[in-house]
Structure 1
Amino acid sequence: MVTVRTVVSIAAQSHWPLFQMDVYNAFLQGDLLEEVYMTLPPGLGSQGEHKSKLDYSLFTKRNQKGIVIILVYVDDLLITGNDKGLIQEAKKILNHIFKIKDLGELRYFLGIEFARSAKGILMNQRRYALELISECGLGGGKPTTTPLEQNQKLTSLEYDKVFEPPSDDAKLEDRRVYQRLIGRLLYLAMTRPDISYAVQHLSQFMHAPKKSHYEAALHVIRYIKQQPALGLLMSSRNSGKVTAYCDADWASCLLSRKSVTGFGIKYGDSLISWKSKKQHTVSRSSAEAEYRSMATTVAKLVWL
């Protein structure tokens, strides 16, 4: 998804057209008579191929006229570039090899809605959010103004074994209900960085959720209900700069005392990458936690 957001932000700033194509019967193209490797053996690859080594779903073709970019996700293709002739040529080649349906300008891709204006390209998951609200039975519920309740500390069953748990905070009988809900929230977070920390925090308890965890997840849904169409604007303002911000929440995990890394990366005015994640090791000072956060952010910047 970072690659998708990056390509869309480049297209928005460069005023490139964006098209979507769909492969008919992607899994029925024919019988495989040769050996198929899940990991390609060393040395395999054609000369002059233009597949990104950092993201194997990203393909490019460049010549004196310009560049065309193709993003592939199973049977969905996103195509952009600065030369319409190259784009049409790429479409023709793809259609010659596979039977492909041209869906025209980008409107709906991977469950994300796209809307273009002079200000840029808006990405949101309004339809998905409304379905989630309805499925949880919160259509008539009261919206909340924050993803989590202020100063709320959620604990695991392991923590409760050491410290006495609240009497009414029992383990959920069917954890699959909670796991499915968190899975759907993780998918919604692709265009909602405002719920990133809350969903990351709640996903830690998927193996043994409690009643308080489920109620906190429903609280996130009520927050989404306030603005279900909220999303990301890939701005058309072109600065060409990549900017990163990072922070750390020192020793915030009550059980392990690990810190939480948070970062956000922008291309121009467009937010293209972010993360909220518990660090792998314990930091013995807030400065150490901050340096670990910076190291994670720099690694992502190098990849970008």
Structure 2
Amino acid sequence: MKDLGELRYFLGIEFARSKYGILMNQIKYALELISECGLASSKPTNTPLDKNQKLTSLEYDNQFNITDDVEFEDRRIYQRLIGRLLYLAMTRPDISFAVQHLSQFMHAPKKSHYDAAIHVVKYIKRQPRLGLLMSRTKSRKISAFCDADWALCILSRKSITWFGIKIGESLVSWKSKKQNTISRSSAEAEYRSMANTVAELVWLQGLLKELGAQVELPGSTL
């Protein structure tokens, strides 16, 4: 075995230490992605996705005779781009929803899907140094936040669940995922989102218990 000293770079993730904690980012990976897409001199965008843009599949367009969009010429280019964005989302929770939304079109992408993926890269270009801070603040308090839309997906009318879980000041788990079933009301979608969040909390609590780490829940210490 060889001691390589303090961890600074591993599998495309950089680790920077400061008085505030350890910052994990993928700046080198992000800059390589921007350069690979030919966007080094492009103007960055303010949001990962255009909120007014409705992305549909080829099957949906054929069913309703929509002809204002065309199939992307080489789906392997689109699949590679989404794959790289998925890996970048490991330290960029802010693009999780956009990447989740675009990944459902990988089998048959359209030109609009590729343009939307390029829009995400332009958003990354605005602040490529963003990452996750593992705070040095000593806190064993675990907290969770969740939300859900209602029937956002126009293809299936399923809702999207998003949650984030923090231990102290550090974000340790997050997810943006389409729900398995169709919710008949916004309240039902919210309850499903809370159920998914609680399931993740129970799993995380069990993992921390196996590691011998203590966490504080409301009104108790486990």
- Normalization by structure 1: what TM-score? 0.66
1:182-206 CA-to-partner distances (Å, cap 9, x unmatched) read 0000000000001000000000100
Distance in 1 of aligned mates of 2:197 and 2:64: 35
Residue identity opposite 1:262 in structure 2: W
- Please state how far the C-alpha of 1:166 moved relative to its aligned partner: 4.2
Secondary structure of the 1:265 match is strand
Matched, 1:211 2:111: yes
Distance in 1 of aligned mates of 2:166 and 2:181: 27
- Please state how far the C-alpha of 1:150 moved relative to its aligned partner: 2.4
Matched, 1:252 2:152: yes
Q: What's the counterpart of residue 187 of structure 2?
A: 287
Secondary structure of the 2:87 match is helix
- Please state how far the C-alpha of 1:165 moved relative to its aligned partner: 1.9
Residue identity opposite 1:134 in structure 2: S
Distance in 1 of aligned mates of 2:146 and 2:164: 6
- Please state how far the C-alpha of 1:124 moved relative to its aligned partner: 0.2
Matched, 1:119 2:41: no
Distance in 2 of aligned mates of 1:164 and 1:145: 33
Identity within the alignment, %: 77
- Please state how far the C-alpha of 1:102 moved relative to its aligned partner: 1.8
In terms of mean alpha carbon deviation, does 260-269 or 229-238 score higher? 229-238
Distance in 2 of aligned mates of 1:151 and 1:271: 29
Q: What's the counterpart of residue 160 of structure 1?
A: 61
- Normalization by structure 2: what TM-score? 0.89
Distance in 1 of aligned mates of 2:196 and 2:175: 10
Residue identity opposite 2:91 in structure 1: T
Pairwise CA RMSD: 1.0
Distance in 2 of aligned mates of 1:115 and 1:151: 37
- Please state how far the C-alpha of 1:224 moved relative to its aligned partner: 0.5
Matched, 1:131 2:32: yes
Secondary structure of the 1:105 match is coil
Deviation beyond 4 Å, 4+ runs, structure 1? none
Distance in 2 of aligned mates of 1:300 and 1:103: 34
Distance in 2 of aligned mates of 1:278 and 1:165: 25
Q: What's the counterpart of residue 302 of structure 1?
A: 202
- Please state how far the C-alpha of 1:164 moved relative to its aligned partner: 3.1
- Structure 1 segment 217-296 matched on structure 2, within 5 A: 217-296=117-196
Structure with larger Rg: 1
Secondary structure of the 1:282 match is coil
Secondary structure of the 1:202 match is helix
1:163-218 CA-to-partner distances (Å, cap 9, x unmatched) read 23242x10012100000000000000000001000000000100100000000000
1:235-264 CA-to-partner distances (Å, cap 9, x unmatched) read 111221110001111111101101100000
Secondary structure of the 1:123 match is strand
Gaps of 5+ in 2: 205-222
1:113-157 CA-to-partner distances (Å, cap 9, x unmatched) read 001111111000000000000001111111111101122211111
1:260-303 CA-to-partner distances (Å, cap 9, x unmatched) read 00000011011111111001111111111111111111111111
Matched, 1:201 2:101: yes
Gaps of 5+ in 1: 1-99
